[in-house]
A and B are shown apart, each in its own frame.
Chain A
Amino acid sequence: MTEVVFVLAASLVFGIGVWGLLIAEHLLRKLLALNVMSSSVFVIMLVAAGGNASPDPVAQALILTGIVIAVAATAFALALMISIYRETGRASITDEDDDDR
């Protein structure tokens, strides 16, 4: 029963993440949305590998590695966002002047 709750909650959170990624214009919001998505994925991984009933050390190691990677990627993305802000004065990439120059 708890598993169903976890999966439903995770799916909801995942959906919120996708929605945020699509809708948000500010890069910070997009990055937060991606982080929300990865959190829900970690919950699903935890449940898929047995949940509370029989904790699986391998799954927890995977999730821990996943969290580390998500943190590293987020830190890097934030740095990239700051350089974009310094260059263009805006922290978004929805633009008009793409292709050529």
Chain B
Amino acid sequence: MTMIAESLAGLVFIPLGMPLLVLLLPGRARGYLCFAAVLALPLCLLPLTQEVWSGNEITLALAEFHPPLGIVWYLDGLALIMLWLTAIVAVPVSLHALTSFPPNEESGRGFWPLWMMLLAGINALFLSADLFNLYVTLEMITLAGVAMIGIGGKALALKAAMRYLLLGLLASVLYLLAVGLIYGQTGALDIYLVGERLETGHLASTALVLMMTGLLVKSAIFPMHVWLPAAHGNAPGPVSAILSGLVVKVSLYMLIRIWFWIAGDWELPAAATALGLLGAGAILYGSVAALVQPRLKMVIAYSTVAQLGYVMILFPLASVGAFRAASYQLLAHGLAKAAMFLAAANILKSLGTDRLNALTDLDRKMPVDLFAFTLAAVSIMGLPPSGGFLAKWLLLEAAWKQDAWGWLVLVSVGSLLSAAYLFRVIALTCFHPGRRHGPTRWQPPPSSATNAALILALLAIAAGFTSAPVLDLIDASLPPGGIWP
């Protein structure tokens, strides 16, 4: 049992200590030390996985103070999956960052401490089951994420960062207001206690609406997605991968937690349908916008808007099948999108541009990066065998079982649209009639950067074969009430 507490602490405090430690060290050692810290995260997860796997949920009352006064860390299957996603994405991204943010240069000095702070925030958030603790960790994540967008110091990125920050702070204020209202009524902040004590009524509904609105803004769900494409599309290389792969997942995870763990047994079919319709809007608008973007990174950023929409279909369906599908979509999209953004970062850095019409003979110049991009695209489109296929298949199955034809059609149309905007990129790079006329001056990316993208892309495909253990974990952590079999 002692190992468990230490592993939990390690997940948060190893990355949290790094920014301070790094300040004491000379430039070159910083990156490698932080990389070692990232490699320690999967090791911390191993004893926890063993414990959760044997059917126990892990609870740790910090400093032995129990709720309602104290703060408790919970770890169940869903949180464990998200922690694994974070650790698995963090390793290749850090490998990429060792070359794209050299630790002894100006950009590296900014990147590594912020990246460690972000990781500490993400890990702490997945362990928290306390509404206020979730708020604090979400703020940590937002501030670190915004700062990372601005590392390059380019005007476009800075403006996008500012827009993200303003909306993020507005969302936080709404969330905090809801926390205050809920605390006033229940005298508790622990999610499980609040779920028991909070009674339906005007106050509770107001709090729920405020909280959901804040989190929808942070997860960039249509029509609150306005900040995302510019922020993710203009952020420097690996930062886009981190933001699209991990950061937006965090607030979606909170959305699911709060809806099903606190309001799970309230009868809210209209609100659930509304959330699903927002998801539908995200899928359709994001896909169509991705179709017309002139720059590769903007295509990928709008694709994120669309792919997040699939998770929202969980709310109207609210079945075990949909719950599995949404969790798997979070996992599969995180891997595939991080791979895509890393490949796009290599392309942008090598050619000096990511305008699609400059990519016409990419298959000759950077075959491995293009291969990584295409593998990730297979998962995003939902072609078998890949993680994305499994997630969409589970979603179709869940909709089929409930005779929810509208959602069924939506998922199918969304997949077709994602195939359209991704094949547009692939066709331009491999089959364009005017090809062999791309920029003549280019530099191959460092091989470790290419490998990082390739590793993530292969993992995105491999996620199609690991369904059994993941789905078992999800089934072991279904919400306490309000989900149909």
Contact = CB atoms under 8 A, between A and B. Distances in A.
A45 B181 CA distance: 7
A98 B230 contact: yes
Contact of A34 (B170, B185, B355): B170
B166 A48 contact: no
B169 A73 contact: yes
A69 B139 contact: yes
Contacts of B294: 100
B183 A34 contact: no
Contact of B181 (A48, A73, A77, A88): A48
Interface residues of B, number: 38
A65 B132 contact: yes
Contacts of B181: 44, 48
Interface string A24-50: 000100100010011001001101111
Interface in A59-101: 59, 62, 65-66, 69, 72-73, 76-77, 80-81, 83-84, 87-88, 93, 95, 98-101
Contacts of B242: none
B180 interface: yes
A69 B162 contact: no
A87 B154 contact: yes
Q: Nearest 9 A-B pairs (CB), nearest first?
A: A48-B184, A45-B180, A87-B155, A41-B177, A93-B159, A84-B158, A37-B173, A88-B155, A48-B180
27 contacts: A21-B170, A34-B170, A38-B173, A38-B176, A44-B177, A44-B180, A45-B177, A45-B179, A45-B184, A48-B184, A49-B180, A49-B183, A58-B69, A58-B183, A59-B180, A62-B132, A62-B180, A69-B136, A73-B172, A76-B143, A80-B146, A80-B147, A80-B150, A80-B162, A83-B158, A88-B159, A99-B230
Interface of B: 68-69, 132, 136, 139, 143, 146-147, 150, 153-156, 158-159, 161-163, 165-166, 169-170, 172-173, 176-177, 179-181, 183-185, 189, 230, 294-295, 298, 355
